[in-house]
Amino acid sequence: MAEEKKSHYISGKESRRIAKENIKITKEFEKRKKRKCVEEEYLSEMKDPANIVEFDDLHTYFYTDTGVVKAVNGVSFSIPAGSTVGVVGESGCGKSVTSLSLMQLVQGPTGQIVDGSIRFRTCAFRRDEKGKKIPVYETEIVDGVEVVKKDSKGKPVHAKNELGGNMYEMDEKVYDIAKMPIEAMRSIRGREISMIFQEPMTSLNPVFTIGNQLDEVAFLHIEGISKANAKARSIEMLNLVGIADPEGVYKKYPHELSGGMRQRVMIAMSLLCNPRLIIADEPTTALDVTIQAQILDLLREIKKKINGSIMLITHDLGVVAEMADFVVVMYAGKVIEMGTAEDIFDRPLHPYTIGLQKSKPTVDGEVESLYCIPGFVPNPVDMPNYCYFRDRCEKCRKECAGEYPHLVQVSPTHSVACYLYKEGEHND
């Protein structure tokens, strides 16, 4: 009798067929990213003017030789201006891919934003008919009339902004990052959205000094800044993140610094251009407990100083409880629960969220072993149509075999995707 075909097995012929199809699909996406287009193609509007970012039904897939991995599969949530939003979940649930989609840093051609919107409120440069940025010039009073100030060569003198760069006329606009070409995205990435990457040991270039790497950010994103001003800004940022000898660290190489110091340098780099949004991807992973507390205090202080927003990605529920105003819980590429920090920690609803909290060690807990959520995450290449958590859920019902549950709002601030709850109904 022929041996039954294993569900996880794929033949070489099938793999080649999938690869051929993927090349066609990803070529189209890459072509779209590199296109030249007018701004109107990616202009949008916020659903709520109080938000700085709105993810709306975002789908980010990876086209592999074994099939399509739906890493982010219909994610929708918002980041209000001036707030900290914590994104939590198991490894592989789509947290980092969501943030990389916002930065347009998903590794292509394999990884692509397939569908959905990422609306971001930006301060965009005004441009003339030729597409050039409109400069702001210094003025002076001559014979009672305000005229543009000129230098010794008769050229108009650029007005300088607070960072020491040339000033340009600006407009507040909303861009849909999912539709933006790469070239246009470069005007936002690093200047208005910055990222503290997960691993400070590998995020810094070992052959350049800390000063070189910080100054490079200034030269890339602050047009017209002088070398002296770039150095002064870099040292100011190193001082802001609590480095005791900023001038000395400025001259050092990454290998001469500890993990905690390197993480502070990464934070300084992300703050250099006064961004509106900071994405902190596991900012305390490689650090010991004492340094973790210092880094979290630092992020809180900086958020107040720059009046910005933070998207905090972490596994550590303790970090989220301490830092976040709002919490988004992700599982297998979907948002399964979201609400204020009080909603999620005091009134968790989804069995997965409850399981995550049970698995966290406590100082006063008298237990022999930590709780572990049973079962495994489903295969991301072939996701089921029903609730992804069904096979691991202790509260599974007959309805759970139906279509994937939609997010229902059980209170003005609290939403959950589970058949245990209905719209406006909070079942304990």
How much is the pLDDT for 70?
92
Spell 235-244 as b/e; 16+ CB within 10 A means b. bebbebbbbe
Query: Can you give the length of the chain in residues?
Result: 428
| Inter-residue contact 349 to 421 (CB < 8 Å) | yes
| CB of 414 closer than 8 Å to CB of 349 | yes
Query: What is the pLDDT, as a whole number, of residue 202?
Result: 80
Query: Within 10 Å of residue 49's Cβ, how many Cβ atoms?
Result: 9
Segment 97-137, tens digit of pLDDT: 999 999 999 998 999 999 999 999 998 888 888 888 899 99
Strands 145-148 and 84-88 turn out to be unpaired
pLDDT digits (tens, 9 = 90+) for 206-264: 999 999 999 999 999 998 899 999 999 999 999 988 888 999 999 999 999 988 889 88
Contacting residues for 379 by C-beta, under 8 A, at least 6 apart: 8
Q: Could you tell me if 402 and 386 are in contact, meaning their C-beta atoms sit under 8 angstroms apart? A: yes
The per-residue pLDDT for range 341-379, each reduced to its tens digit, is: 999 999 999 999 998 888 777 666 566 677 788 888 888
Amino acid identity for residue 349 in this structure: L
pLDDT band at 1 (very low <50, low <70, confident <90, very high): very low
Cα distances (Å, whole numbers) of residue 287 to 134, 137, 151, 262, 417: 45, 46, 51, 10, 34
- Mean pLDDT (the chain, rounded): 88
Give first-to-last CA distance, the chain, whole Å. 53
Residue 66's pLDDT is 86
How wide is the angle at C-alpha 113 spanned by C-alphas 110 and 116, nearest 5°? 160
Handedness of CA 363, 364, 369, 374 (dihedral sign): negative
Q: What number of other Cβ atoms are within 10 A of residue 397's Cβ?
A: 13
88 Cβ contact list (under 8 Å, min separation 6): 95, 314, 315, 317, 320, 327, 328, 329, 330, 356
